[in-house]
Structure 1
Amino acid sequence: MTLFIHPLRQAMGLATFGFLLAGPVQAEQTHYRIDLPAQPLDQSINALARQTGSRILFNTDAAHAVQAPTLHQQLSVEQALRHLLAGSHLSLTQAADGQYLIALPSEPSNGALELDASSVIGRQPVTTTEGSHSYTSGAVTLGKGVQTLKDIPQSVTVMTRQQMDDQNTQTISDLVNRTPGLTASRSPGSGLFIYSRGFSIDTLQYDGVPIPRNTYSLGSYLTEDLSFYDRVEVLRGPAALLQGGDSPGGAMNLVRKRGQDKAVVSLTGKAGSWDRYGLQLDAGGPLNAEGTLRTRTVVSQNDNGSFIDYVRGWNQTVYAAVDYDFTPDFTMGLGVANQKGQARPAMLGLPRYADGGNPDWSRSTYVGADWNRANNDQTSVFLDASYRLNDDWRLKAAGVYMSEHNGATYQALWDALPANGSTNNTYIDWSTDFTTHSKGLDLYLDGQFTGFGFEQTFLLGANYSRINTDDRWARAPTFGADSSNVDHHRPMPDIYGLASRGRGELTEYQITQKGLYSRWSVNLTEPLKLIVGARTSWYDYSYASQSFARTGYSESTTSSNGKVSPYAGLVYALNKQWSVYTSYTDVFQPQSARTSSGSVVEPIIGSNYELGLKGELFDGALNTSVALFRYDQEHHAVLDRSGPMDCNGWYCSKASGKVRSQGLEAQVSGEVLSGLQVMAGYVYNTTRYLEDANYKDKVYSTWTPKHQFKLWADYTLPGNWSRTSVGLGTTAVTGTTSYDHVFDLPGYAIWDARVAYKVSDEVTVAANLNNLLDKKYYQPAYNTIDYNNYYGDPRNVMFSVKYTPEL
């Protein structure tokens, strides 16, 4: 929510008022975790209104002259205001429309105050999670505009800033491992694949703008720092309506931090196991008295050791953003971020025995060389503009540009260990140099109206995305390696030498998507809402490759024009707290994987059905959901392991038969008791081939566990212990199957904890303890007998000190 202070004049023309209007009026008994320092009353009122989305009209001159007390309690808006006004000469009343009025005894307090038209600014529900001290959000922007969780007929999770801070969630990999329903699968490179319901999430949204990130495994590492994001919104299940030809796994929307109405500065230092250190500065606020120009800056530096021998690295992030209200109705924002890092990584993991047996490597085992290296440099530019046409209609345009370079040179072991006890193996040396340019644009109009006696909302939009790559890679084997005595000091190769004695390719991708989308909802009766939508998509793909010697040129293209993807849902409100829903989503996903003949695998077609129950309890402090889902699809590309490795140095693909993913999801997020914030999610999910020549009745998503339970709870102690908070959580999963279907990985449960203490209102110290029981386990990945078996982190600790001075 953006705060506007507008000068108003009464009939006498003397008094100045501040007016804050934020979406729907909250219920009188809604309770929030209020955390306000001692400061002038007008600043406390502004912060309270921003956090709660309330309407508060007050005399700014009179309020600024009053010193408000510190407030750290669970209160309703009215209770909080009465605490803030205690001992002052100001009076509090509430108008019939729910707006709160704070006035001098001589001022009108009956709600009949007349305002200039330009001062009345329609605002949507507050979605910013900074300062909310909550593990849930009342609304999200993932589906364009602002929607409450209860009104979306699909499963949605919000990872708030508070939860990310409490769990020391720094990267996308950390986030995925802690988000209910998601699975992080290690890629052969330094990055990861994100899976939901057994399917990858290939497109990420940045402030609602979708751009492809996981088009190919080695180029998009998804190693981004989350320090400059306010929250991450995750939708599980197909998101074709708003993202086009996309994976049925879901959508992930990363929402940036923005400058707020009050100046804030925080400095955080961290130190932990394996010589890990970090320092972060986060500052922002208004630059002018009116609060119309706001900025935000985040600078972060991390040095990372590892439990694996030789492995370490560093990364840094610099982010700056500015937002300006040209008028009360028109706002533009610009943000720029640069993230870079260098590391000596452990690539391709560890091999197993040829029969699938576990060699039980030490977790510190490193099979690379001392010259293993990887670097990443990613620059992103964000631009958006929103215009309020009137009280009911808004127009928003946004764009994202991202330039990313990933390079690596490394050694690894390439073969399974012989079952006869021999230690003979093969070194594989790789060198990669990937450059990616991505851009996305999104424009939409949304609003509400009443027609034919029905309350209705309507959304109409268009988006565009393009990804271009300019890549080169080379690899070469060296036979005669000794897996029991790895040589870490072999001569470092260069990419041209590897290409000359092995294989090297120059490759280019270009993928363009365009689409028109719309969504219409109508309240058919007081409790029943119908939601229908559709998207028309255009998709163009091209891929070209040739050897370093500029020979063996090959090219493949595919396109799809005017494909329509329908969407429908029903939401029935049982009462003010509970609603049931059902939804249908159609999936059409062009593919980039190539067959051994050089053609592109035909598009995926599928359909998703979902039935669920959602609850918004304790006036929005707690959100719950339960969903049953079934998704059927055909033609998904699978590796053709019986064919040649002619596709970018790897196996080519072929279309699979019918696949089904189905199961149950249950989630609770928010405050269950006073001071106790919880995020808990359970997922039961099976994926299997219903029809396929080679895989019928086999598991489809080998790294997706059948049972998954994730829990994190943080409790602020009561009474004299209120400066102390304790957290505890677990990630528990059942066993999975290797990608080559040769061996099974056992399930595991990892326990984490946190203890934090507020030394003062400005300083907080904390300790995060991870893998408390020191469980030894392999991470879900493209696990095979030859390579890509990675251990999870052993027991470790991270200490932090956060300083937030009063400004």
Structure 2
Amino acid sequence: MNARRVLALSALAIALQGVGVSALAAPVQASHAYSIASGSLAQVLARFASEGGITLQYTSQLTHGLSSPGLQGQYGIEDGFQQLLAGSGLRAVRRGDGVYGLEPLPLNATSGGTALNLEPLNITGRQDSATTEDTGSYTSNAVTIGKSTHRLKDIPQSVSVVTRKAMDDQRLDTLDQVLEKTTGVTTYQSPSGGKYIYSRGFEVETIQYDGVPLDRRYYAIGSSFTSDTLLYDRVEVLRGANGLLQGSGNPGAAINLVRKRPKAEPSLSVTASAGSWDTYRQTLDASAPLTADGRLRGRLVAGHENRDYFYDTAESRKNVLYGIVEYDLSDATTLAAGASVEDLHSVPFFSGLPRNKDGSAIYAGRSTFTGADWNKWNNKQTTYFADITHDFNQDWRLKASGSYIRETNDILYSFGRGAVDPATGNGMQSRAYLYDFENINQGADINLTGKWRAFGLEHEVVMGANASDLKTDDLQGGLLNLGPINLYNPVSPREPSMEELLGTTYAGSSHGKIRQNGFYSVVRYKLTEPLTLVLGGRVSNYQYDYELSRFTTKSPDPAHAKHTGEFTPYGGLIYALNEQWSAYVSYADIFKPQTELSEDVATLKPIEGTNYEVGLKGELLDGRVNTSFALFRVDQQNRAQYDYNSVCGQKGESNCYVAGGKVRAEGFDAEISGEVLTGLQLFAGYTYTSTKFLNDPGDGTTASGATFNSYTPRHLLRFWGDYNLPGDLAPWTFGAGANIQSRNYNTNFGGTGGVGDIEQAGYAIWNARLAYQINRNFSVALNGNNLFDKKYYSSIGWLNASNQYGEPRNYTVTLKADF
């Protein structure tokens, strides 16, 4: 502990005007076996107090930014405190029977100081920081998705946080895997590598990076978006309408990816894992101060993965590199800049398997591959980002952030398409598609957050502006018939030439631009001590331009959309029932431009709607547990629907849409996360979702009242618990959980082949983990997924293709070293 920190802690004690309490001689207490992992000092102390059966009281400022190596072995209370607080500049004092506090160590004799003692202003064990790394927790006491930092129970919408520990324990190495373990979020396989993301029945098209919103699902076809989670401290998911802070979009969810930041103390973490289907992954994560005074800090993260798949032929290799530096320009101003590269090369199998001609499941095994051995998907994402934060004082902060992402996708693949005769396996034809995508995404956000006091109460405000610019340059081609292929004996077809792929009516090039910007403001005004009024609004500008040039046929008309000065209001009330529980109600408007064209070649007016939510939230056990329950309803209108009765509709032309569709999604979700019992970290979330058309969508096949998102199950339960065994078994940790859902189905393009819905019954997938802490630095873990080897579809397609099997039973062993 350097003199600067000792002086700072002492000055803090004086500033807080604590009443001195001398350290009391503690009675001898029986020792207890502890196995507490390293982490933030606040989290480690909370665990120590819980296991030791004592009450610990102190101001959270005392431990802010401090870490602890943890505690392993037999210790009494006093000895345990001595080990945990070594080098921190703090000491424990006994205030009564089973009650302890913290205070700064006394100044040395040359300073003429004496011991300064401090009465608690807060009862903690809880961090004010939203950072989840090294906390050892499945929850966070705060999130940053709303620009400022707020506790979960003070946000009048449903929010989930997937922490670093949750990702590590369950081996959630991609964003898709994270979202597939998150309350209420579902995914669906795209025909170009990535996955569509849905929440409350609506697609999520925008991803935030440290609060900067970028459109990440805009490609010539499907979605190729993918992301490795090695870069992130946590994933924050706010369900419901979110246009206030990120602009236009569907009311499904806002997803905020929060990057890892440099640590104040040197650290090194190395992992190596091996799993089923020759899956091998290695990672390195190093962080350290780069100058003696610690004002310049850096972090480097790297990963490599080689893997095959449970289906034949397919394979991939991936490299991830991430670097960031932070520099304290002054005590009030911090500048950060970084870059990352994600580079994926694979032999993919995007389009899944067909069904039998009668709509039943095929008889072929899950390893069946109807693609080609020349299939390829090369995806590269290069990102640059920077931010600067300035604290005017403890209440007012200005932050500016920017991100630049260039993504390229080079895709060539074949697959078998067509319903199958179950007796012979015949019925499919091989197809081939070529895609060459380039997306350049730029975004920036600047915001001012602050607090002020009026009428004896504290109020908050967020004011800011953000902008994003997406440019796409895409090439696509396809050959619809490479010859027949048999499901029971698939043989790789010949590789077509570039001339063949670009010489069909499907081939063409496209160019697109989406520009958004807006100004937003949110005020949190305390009407009374327990009642907070939240009012906000955004003024948005939006411009969309898209042009497709067909190589062999007449191209469709260019699409243009422009909207300026669109205002979307937001409001909510939060009532603090007590220190642990709050109730809330919220309302938000929905604004989403459309690009479909009407009969007179004009873009349709934007989708509009409303989002209502009422809920109850709790922050329990000194912040170690968060829980929530919410009822929601989302209404949308003006959705594009094809007009078969129009003149152009009867001719089969493309610009035959009207803005007439109305839909509703409603239901409820419930969630609990955190250390519910000593040593037991739990995440559990349940969602009931009903989606339906409020009018006939006009496609000639679906009636009013029918489901509009049939592959979102009505019932969805996800949970995972991780238990650190007590006593002599403390080095062992056992985890288990499941994904359970009700039936879902696909409408099969209106009954192609005389077959109606393609349906899947409800199912449960069970997973588990067993880990052993070898010593302070080394641990080993075994993860098993789909333990009962359930055969199911992760995505339901239609009669001819796109039925994607979920992974069979598989195992991964991971060795981790932390220094």
**1:225-236 to 2 correspondences below 5 Å:** 225-236=228-239
Q: Quote the residue 1:109 is aligned against.
A: 115
> 1:94·1:100 contact (CA, 8 Å) conserved in 2?
no
**1:4-403 to 2 correspondences below 5 Å:** 7=4, 35=36, 54-56=60-62, 71=71, 81=81, 84=84, 92=92, 100-104=103-107, 107-110=113-116, 125-216=128-219, 218=221, 220-403=223-406
Q: Quote the residue 1:616 is aligned against.
A: 619
The whole-number CA distance in structure 2 between the counterparts of 1:200 and 1:194 is 6
Structure 1 residue 191, shift from structure 2 partner: 0.7
Q: Quote the residue 1:748 is aligned against.
A: 763
> 1:477·1:502 contact (CA, 8 Å) conserved in 2?
no
> 2:520·2:537 contact (CA, 8 Å) conserved in 1?
yes
> 2:43·2:127 contact (CA, 8 Å) conserved in 1?
no
The whole-number CA distance in structure 2 between the counterparts of 1:641 and 1:729 is 48
Q: Quote the residue 1:790 is aligned against.
A: 804
Q: Which amino acid aligns with 1:714?
A: D
Higher mean Cα deviation, 462-471 or 82-91? Answer: 82-91
User: What is the root-mean-square deviation in Å for CA atoms of aligned residues?
Assistant: 3.7
Structure 1 residue 403, shift from structure 2 partner: 0.2
Residue-by-residue CA offset, 1:531-552 (whole Å, 9 max, x unaligned): 0000000000000011236963
Secondary structure at the aligned position of 1:699 is classed as coil
Secondary structure at the aligned position of 1:180 is classed as coil
Secondary structure at the aligned position of 1:591 is classed as coil
Structure 1 residue 158, shift from structure 2 partner: 0.3
> 1:315·1:341 contact (CA, 8 Å) conserved in 2?
yes
Structure 1 residue 209, shift from structure 2 partner: 0.5
The whole-number CA distance in structure 1 between the counterparts of 2:69 and 2:352 is 56
Higher mean Cα deviation, 654-663 or 768-777? Answer: 654-663
Q: Which amino acid aligns with 2:233?
A: D
Q: Percent identity?
A: 39
The whole-number CA distance in structure 2 between the counterparts of 1:555 and 1:321 is 41
Structure 1 residue 101, shift from structure 2 partner: 2.2
Q: Quote the residue 2:695 is aligned against.
A: 691
What TM-score comes out, normalization by structure 1 length?
Answer: 0.88
Are 1:715 and 2:715 an aligned pair? Answer: no
Are 1:659 and 2:667 an aligned pair? Answer: no
Structure 1 residue 748, shift from structure 2 partner: 1.1
Change (3 A) 1:367 1:99: same
Higher mean Cα deviation, 619-628 or 410-419? Answer: 410-419
Q: Quote the residue 1:118 is aligned against.
A: none
Q: Which amino acid aligns with 1:709?
A: L
Structure 1 residue 636, shift from structure 2 partner: 2.7
Are 1:702 and 2:710 an aligned pair? Answer: yes
Structure 1 residue 375, shift from structure 2 partner: 0.6
Q: Quote the residue 1:541 is aligned against.
A: 544
Structure 1 residue 267, shift from structure 2 partner: 0.9
Secondary structure at the aligned position of 1:165 is classed as helix
Structure 1 residue 290, shift from structure 2 partner: 1.8
The whole-number CA distance in structure 1 between the counterparts of 2:74 and 2:465 is 42
> 2:629·2:671 contact (CA, 8 Å) conserved in 1?
yes
The whole-number CA distance in structure 2 between the counterparts of 1:500 and 1:686 is 45
The whole-number CA distance in structure 2 between the counterparts of 1:651 and 1:553 is 8
> 1:395·1:444 contact (CA, 8 Å) conserved in 2?
yes
Structure 1 residue 438, shift from structure 2 partner: 0.3
> 2:42·2:63 contact (CA, 8 Å) conserved in 1?
no
Task: Select the residue among 715, 740, 744 that pairs with 1:736.
Answer: 744
Structure 1 residue 793, shift from structure 2 partner: 0.1
Structure 1 residue 400, shift from structure 2 partner: 0.7
The whole-number CA distance in structure 2 between the counterparts of 1:802 and 1:435 is 37
> 1:6·1:18 contact (CA, 8 Å) conserved in 2?
no
Change (3 A) 1:252 1:652: farther
Are 1:725 and 2:733 an aligned pair? Answer: yes
Change (3 A) 1:496 1:49: farther
The whole-number CA distance in structure 2 between the counterparts of 1:554 and 1:457 is 48
Secondary structure at the aligned position of 2:793 is classed as coil
> 2:105·2:116 contact (CA, 8 Å) conserved in 1?
no
Change (3 A) 1:230 1:24: farther
Change (3 A) 1:561 1:86: closer
Structure 1 residue 556, shift from structure 2 partner: 1.3
The whole-number CA distance in structure 1 between the counterparts of 2:90 and 2:706 is 71
> 1:588·1:606 contact (CA, 8 Å) conserved in 2?
yes
Runs of 5+ consecutive residues of structure 2 not aligned to the other structure: 22-33, 49-57, 96-100, 120-125, 749-755
Q: Quote the residue 1:778 is aligned against.
A: 793
Q: Which amino acid aligns with 1:708?
A: L
Q: Which amino acid aligns with 2:812?
A: M
> 2:41·2:63 contact (CA, 8 Å) conserved in 1?
no
The whole-number CA distance in structure 1 between the counterparts of 2:79 and 2:705 is 59
> 1:708·1:734 contact (CA, 8 Å) conserved in 2?
yes
Change (3 A) 1:232 1:419: same
Change (3 A) 1:594 1:719: farther
Secondary structure at the aligned position of 1:697 is classed as coil
Structure 1 residue 479, shift from structure 2 partner: 6.3
Secondary structure at the aligned position of 2:148 is classed as coil
Change (3 A) 1:207 1:338: same
> 2:432·2:482 contact (CA, 8 Å) conserved in 1?
no
Residue-by-residue CA offset, 1:683-708 (whole Å, 9 max, x unaligned): 01100101123431211111100000
Task: Select the residue among 411, 415, 422 that pairs with 2:414.
Answer: 411
Structure 1 residue 453, shift from structure 2 partner: 3.8
What TM-score comes out, normalization by structure 2 length?
Answer: 0.86
The whole-number CA distance in structure 2 between the counterparts of 1:74 and 1:248 is 52
Structure 1 residue 289, shift from structure 2 partner: 2.2
The whole-number CA distance in structure 2 between the counterparts of 1:88 and 1:552 is 69
The whole-number CA distance in structure 2 between the counterparts of 1:639 and 1:667 is 39
> 1:461·1:517 contact (CA, 8 Å) conserved in 2?
yes
Structure 1 residue 658, shift from structure 2 partner: 1.4
Q: Which amino acid aligns with 1:7?
A: R
Residue-by-residue CA offset, 1:303-326 (whole Å, 9 max, x unaligned): 011010101111110100001101
Residue-by-residue CA offset, 1:686-739 (whole Å, 9 max, x unaligned): 001011234312111111000000000000000111111010000000111114
Secondary structure at the aligned position of 2:245 is classed as helix
Structure 1 residue 496, shift from structure 2 partner: 3.2
Q: Quote the residue 2:686 is aligned against.
A: 682
Change (3 A) 1:91 1:559: closer
Structure 1 residue 637, shift from structure 2 partner: 3.8
> 1:20·1:49 contact (CA, 8 Å) conserved in 2?
no
Structure 1 residue 239, shift from structure 2 partner: 0.4
The whole-number CA distance in structure 2 between the counterparts of 1:475 and 1:137 is 48
Q: Which amino acid aligns with 1:476?
A: L
Q: Quote the residue 1:454 is aligned against.
A: 457
**1:397-476 to 2 correspondences below 5 Å:** 397-417=400-420, 423-476=426-479
Residue-by-residue CA offset, 1:212-266 (whole Å, 9 max, x unaligned): 0012474642221110100000001010110111110010000001111111101
The whole-number CA distance in structure 1 between the counterparts of 2:585 and 2:8 is 50
Change (3 A) 1:74 1:436: farther
Structure 1 residue 448, shift from structure 2 partner: 0.2
Runs of 5+ consecutive residues of structure 1 not aligned to the other structure: 10-14, 114-122
> 2:593·2:607 contact (CA, 8 Å) conserved in 1?
yes
Structure 1 residue 761, shift from structure 2 partner: 0.8
Residue-by-residue CA offset, 1:559-597 (whole Å, 9 max, x unaligned): 111000000000001111111000001101112345687
